Copies of this chain bind each other. A is one copy, B any other.
Amino acid sequence: MKRILAGTALALALIATGPAMAKPGDPGREKVVAAIKSDHDASIERLRKWIALPTIANMGINHREGAEYMRQLALDAGFQQAKVIATDGVPGVFATLDAGAKDTLAIYFMYDVKHYDPAEWSSPPLEGKIVDRPGEGKALIGRGAVNQKGPETAFLTALRAFRTAGVKLPVNLVFVAEGEEEIASPHFAQVVNQPEVRAALEKAVGIIIPSASQSVDGQVTLLLGAKGAVELQLISSGEKWGRGPNKDIHSSLMANVDSPAWHLIKALNTLVADDGHTPAIDGWFENVKPLTARQKELIAADVAAGNEADEMKVLVIKHWYKDEDYLTASYRLAEQPTVNIQGLVSGYMGPGGKTVLPGRAEAKIDLRLVPDMTKDEAVSKLKSHLAKRGFGDIEVNVSGGYGPNQTDENSPLIKAEQATLADAKIPATLSARSAGSWPGVVFTGPPLHLPAGQFGGGRGGGAHAPDEWLLIDSSNPKVLGFDGQAILYADFLYEVARTAKAKR
C-alpha cells in the first residue's frame, strides 16, 4: 500500500490503550482473546513465512506462488471457499466466509510488496528478524512487515481465534486480494468486476484493509478518502519520433541530429507552470471539487494538533510550496491534483559524463487526482495536451492507477471504527483526505458504492524503505503490540455487527 500521509495528526496522547472491555453482545470475547494470545508464536511464524515469499509485481516475482499462498492463508484462517482469480496481470484472490450472520463485512488484502535492495538493510529483508526498538519494544524487520502482511496477519489471527475458541463470527466475510497494489492496481478492477465477486461484495456494509497506523503517541487517523494516483512513463525515442537516432550515438552529432532527450524536456516543460509546480495540462482543474467546509474543519483540526517543525524535519524541507503557512499547505496537500516526476532515465547515468546523444529518454510520472477527476479523464487530457503541442509521438505508458475515493463519515463502517477505538481508549481523528493513494475507488465508486477505509491498531514503519518494521511486543502503553492488533480486529467484528444492526 502507498504510504499514507494522513494530514499531520500527532494529537496529544490520551491515556493507555490495550484490549477493550467486552460489551454486552460480544459473546465469547474472553475465549477469543485467550485464543489470540496462545496463538502468538505461531502467528509470528506465519507472518515470517509469508514475508519469506515476496510477490513483487514489477519484477515478475512470485506472481502465481503469491496468489496461491494467499488463497491458502485465507482457507487456513477459516474462509470456506477461496479461489485464485486470473487477470491480465498478477492474479487476485476471492474468498467468502458465511457465518450465518445477518451482516457482511468485506476485507481487502494486498499480497504483493515493494522491491528492495538487501544491501541497504541491517538484517535480511526476507528473514523477519526480531530486534529491539528502543522505547517502543520488540519489532520484526522484513519487507511487508507493516505494508501490509503484518496487519493482515493480525486480522487472520483474529479470525483463527474465533474458530479455535469455537465462537461464532459476528459477521459474514467477503475477501478480495490483489498482487499489484504496489504498481497501482492495474488489473484489480477485473477481480472486483467478476459477477460472483461483485455479488458478494454488494452484500457488505463496507470494506477495510488492515493497517497498523498508530503514531508513537498511540493516535490513529481514520481516512475518509484518498487521492487517486496514476503511474505512467513518458518515453521519447528516435524510433517512435521518426527523428533523432534510434540508439545512443556520439554526442558531437547534436550539431545536426535531433535529440529525443531534448524533445522530452520540451514536452515535460509544458506539463507544469513556470513555478515548476502547478499542473498546466489543458483542462486539468475542470473537475476538481473544492474542499467542503467539513473537510476544511477536519484538516484545520489536524493542523492544530500537528507539529509543523517536526514534520518539516522528517521531510528534510525548509519551506512549503510558495512559503505558504502550515494550514494553507495542508489544504493544498488535500485538494491539489499533482503532476510529479518520480524519476528521469536517459543515456549515460554513471559517474561523470559520457559523450553520447541518447536515442531514448524517459520520465517516470505520477498524477494524483482528487474528486471528481477520474483516471481515464486524466490520461486522456495528458495525451491530448501532448499531441496538441507536437509531442504526440511521446509514449504515454500507463503502468497503473485509479481515481480518488471518498467515504461518508456517517457510514456504519466509520462509526464502527470509531466505536472500536473509543472502547480501546485509542485516540482517533478523522482525516478528510489522504494525499497518498489506495485503490479504494473500486469499492467506493460505481457500481458498488461501499464505504471503504484502512483500519487497525499497532505500529510500524519503513514502508517502501529499508528495514521495514512492525512492532510485535510493545513496551509503549499507548501503542498496541501484535496481539493487541488482533484483539482490536476481533472487537471490530463485534462492533460492525452492532452498528449494522442499529442501521437496519
- A residues whose Cβ falls under 8 Å from a Cβ of B: 2-3, 5, 57-59, 114-115, 183-184, 227, 229, 231-233, 238, 242-247, 249-259, 261-263, 265-266, 268-269, 272, 274, 276-277, 315-321, 324, 329-330, 332-334, 336, 338-359, 361, 364-366, 368, 399-400, 434-437, 464
Contact A243 to B319, CB < 8 A, known contacts A342-B251, A353-B399: yes
Q: List 24 A-B contacts (CB under 8 A).
A: A2-B252, A5-B253, A183-B352, A231-B352, A231-B353, A243-B317, A245-B315, A245-B316, A251-B338, A252-B435, A255-B333, A256-B324, A256-B330, A259-B341, A266-B274, A266-B276, A269-B269, A340-B357, A342-B348, A342-B354, A344-B349, A345-B345, A352-B400, A354-B464
Contacts of A257 in B (CB 8 A): 315, 317, 320-321
Q: Interface SS of chain A: helix, strand, loop or mixed? A: mixed
Contacts of A340 in B (CB 8 A): 251, 254, 259, 357
Q: Taking the full assembly, how many copies of this chain does it contain?
A: 2
Q: Which are the 7 A-B pairs with shortest beta-carbon distances?
A: A246-B316, A343-B347, A254-B340, A262-B276, A58-B352, A252-B435, A231-B353
Contact A265 to B341, CB < 8 A, known contacts A315-B249, A333-B255: yes
Indicate if the CB atoms of B343 and A364 lie closer than 8 Å. no
Q: Report the Cα distance A255→B272, complex, angstroms.
A: 12
Indicate if the CB atoms of B364 and A353 lie closer than 8 Å. yes
Contacts of A365 in B (CB 8 A): 353
Indicate if the CB atoms of B316 and A399 lie closer than 8 Å. no
Contact A359 to B316, CB < 8 A, known contacts A341-B347, A347-B342: yes
Contacts of A333 in B (CB 8 A): 252-253, 255-256
- The closest CB in chain B to the CB of A338 belongs to B254
Which of B247, B319, B343, B347 touches A346 (beta carbons < 8 Å)? Answer: B343
Indicate if the CB atoms of B256 and A227 lie closer than 8 Å. no
Contacts of A345 in B (CB 8 A): 344-345, 349
Indicate if the CB atoms of B436 and A252 lie closer than 8 Å. yes
Q: Report the Cα distance A259→B321, complex, angstroms.
A: 9
Which of B231, B272, B334, B353 touches A342 (beta carbons < 8 Å)? Answer: B353
Contacts of A320 in B (CB 8 A): 256-257
- The closest CB in chain B to the CB of A229 belongs to B355
Indicate if the CB atoms of B256 and A352 lie closer than 8 Å. no
Contacts of A359 in B (CB 8 A): 316
- Taking A5-B250, A231-B353, A245-B317 as given, write out 8 further A-B residue pairs in contact, using a Cβ cutoff of 8 Å, ordered by the A residue number: A3-B250, A5-B252, A229-B355, A257-B315, A263-B276, A343-B353, A344-B349, A349-B364
Which of B263, B316, B343 touches A358 (beta carbons < 8 Å)? Answer: B343
Interface centre among A183, A349, A361, by most chain B C-beta atoms within 10 angstroms, is A349
